[in-house]
Amino acid sequence: MSEKGIFPSRFLFCIMTISMFLLILSSVFLLQFGNTSLLPRSGFKLILVNGTVYLKSNVKNELKLPFFLPESSQADARTPVKTGDLTCHKPNYGKEMCVYRQRNIESCNADQALLRVYMYDLPSEFHFGLLGWKGKSNQVWPEVNDPTRIPAYPGGLNLQHSMEYWLTLDLLSSNTPSAAVVRPCAAIRVTNSSEADIVFVPFFASLSYNRHSKLRGKEKVSVNKLLQNKLVKFLTAQNEWKRFGGKDHLIVAHHPNSMLDARRKLGFAMFVLADFGRYPAEIANIEKDVIAPYRHVVKTIPSADSAPFEKRPILVFFQGAIYRKDGGAIRQELYYLLKDEKDVHFAFGTIQGNGVNQAGHGMASSKFCLNIAGDTPSSNRLFDAIVSHCVPVIISDEIELPFEDVIDYSEFCIFIRASDAVKKGYLLNLLRGITKDQWTKMWEKLKETVRYFQYQYPSQPCDAIDMIWEAVARKVSSVRLRIHRESRYRRYNEHQVERLR
């Protein structure tokens, strides 16, 4: 046994020695080649174009090796020959955005649109009926041809979560004669659900929460609860829902408390949300859902009227409730740290009525605007700051930002970890250390960015509605992925079951 054991190990030893020797020899050879080579030591790349090998170097005087290049070929190996396949692998951060999209607003049809959307004809009590709109008998949707005559959404703080309304209007307008309403061709409403990329649920969930969650008169159940229950019943009975368990459905639930009763039962759908603060991760997460900006409540400052660095006397501005439950304890700590500073404006109270104007004026006169976590990680304050061109200072570790896959917020916002912000002197030292030039760069960027956060009807290229549809379109392939993975076994198994019957 010992002899048999020794032989193979000796043999192995020999092989290893020889390979080591060869390895060392080859490295020495390689090194020498490198030093004495006629070829410069820059990077060379062999490129395969149409089955022909090209040698590419990064040096100016490119060496063309005759044995690699066919004489007749005029192809320049430095530029990709075929654009299609090669360019689609280039890094394309932000390149999917509205600004780059080829749009043909005059003629938007299902082939040109980024997203084909099927919308349920839900009874009007779920949407425009909540605004007090009453159609003629059998009329589900209002006329949208004339933008001055669409049903109005209630003003004030309700507006913050009004994207449900703007998105629905935009879909309705996608079917108007093209001359009537000019809009970007991001989404188009299709009437055949089999041809849709996504199924839109036109429930004004935030308005339903804001306006109808309190019991009235002899009601045992609030209208908001009632509507949610009805909605769940309706949806789960639809073939469109059953097809993929609702995975290709889009539900707008921007107010953190909206859809409170239905969110679990409809949790497979894609949600449009403000943040994930009040959702368990399995119901809502950044892979599946879309974060939409709040509709700002202060007025947008026109770029031309925006005060530059030296015309903004206030260094730091904050207005909001100081005492908040949950994550909001940090507001209190910051208040005590900053309250005695001369150039800091730290004001109490939510903004309402004339307070909105005052807050808008305050932000427009400030260099930096604080965005501190409240009882949810997000708030409309960030978007109020943006439209005031006041550089946002974000102190909210759990915040989710809209369209962050195509927008780099660090270009125009300052992020500070909550744990740093409460250190004495940290915040003000950091902000006072930012030079006029640095600030002005962010301010310029802010002015460009404002358009992404505007809600309006009709929608305009690169406004919030256009951006939301694009964000949904970017999710469609992952929706497909989830659907396809689930159907791996379904097709065959259902077939079997039928045969066994």
**Three-state DSSP class for residue 381:** helix
Nearest approach in angstroms of CB 473 to ligand NAG is 19
The residue (of 75 and 283) whose beta carbon lies closer to ligand NAG is: 75
Q: Which among 131-139, 191-199, 408-416, 434-442 is the span making contact with ligand NAG, rule CB under 6 A? A: 191-199
> What's the min distance (Å) between Cβ of 328 and ligand NAG?
50
Count of alpha carbons within 13 angstroms of residue 217, beta-carbon side: 4
Give the separation between CA 54 and CA 179, rounded to whole angstroms: 52
- Between 118 and 166, name the residue whose CB sits nearer to ligand NAG: 118
When the beta carbons of 49 and 69 are compared against ligand NAG, the nearer one is: 49
Q: How far is the CB of 49 from ligand NAG (least distance, A)?
A: 6
For residue 195, the minimal CB distance to ligand NAG (Å) is 5
- Within 238-319, residue ranges assigned H as helices are 239-244
Asked if 430 touches ligand NAG (CB under 6 A), the answer is no
Q: Which residue among 9, 37, 79, 194 contacts ligand NAG (CB under 6 A)?
A: 194
Q: 51-54 long-range contacts, Cβ below 8 Å, gap at least 24?
A: none
Burial class (CB in 10 A: 0-12, 13-18, 19+), 361: middle
The b-or-e profile of 260-276 (16+ CB within 10 A means b, else e) is bbbbebbbbbbbbbbbb
**Minimal distance in Å, beta carbon 321 to ligand NAG?**
51
The smaller minimum CB distance to ligand NAG, of residues 35 and 50, is found at: 50
CB of 165 to ligand NAG, least distance (A): 29
Please tell me the distance from the alpha carbon of residue 191 to that of residue 118, in angstroms, as a whole number: 6
Chosen residue from 47, 55, 69, 75 binding ligand NAG by CB under 6 A: 75
Rounded CA gap, 257 and 396, in Å? 19
Radius of gyration of the chain measured on its C-alpha atoms: 30
259: left (phi over 0), alpha (psi -120 to 50) or beta: left
- The correct pick among 62, 76, 195, 486 for binding ligand NAG (CB under 6 A) is 195
Stretch that binds ligand NAG, among 33-41, 139-147, 192-200, 276-284 (CB under 6 A): 192-200
Q: Which of 35, 50, 102, 107 binds ligand NAG (CB under 6 A)?
A: 50
**End-to-end Cα, the chain, rounded Å:** 64
Residue with tokens 């978007």: 383
Number of residues in contact with ligand NAG under rule CB under 6 A: 7
User: What is the rounded distance in angstroms from the CA atom of residue 397 to the CA atom of residue 211?
Assistant: 31
Q: Which residues bind ligand NAG (CB under 6 A)?
A: 49-50, 75, 81, 192, 194-195
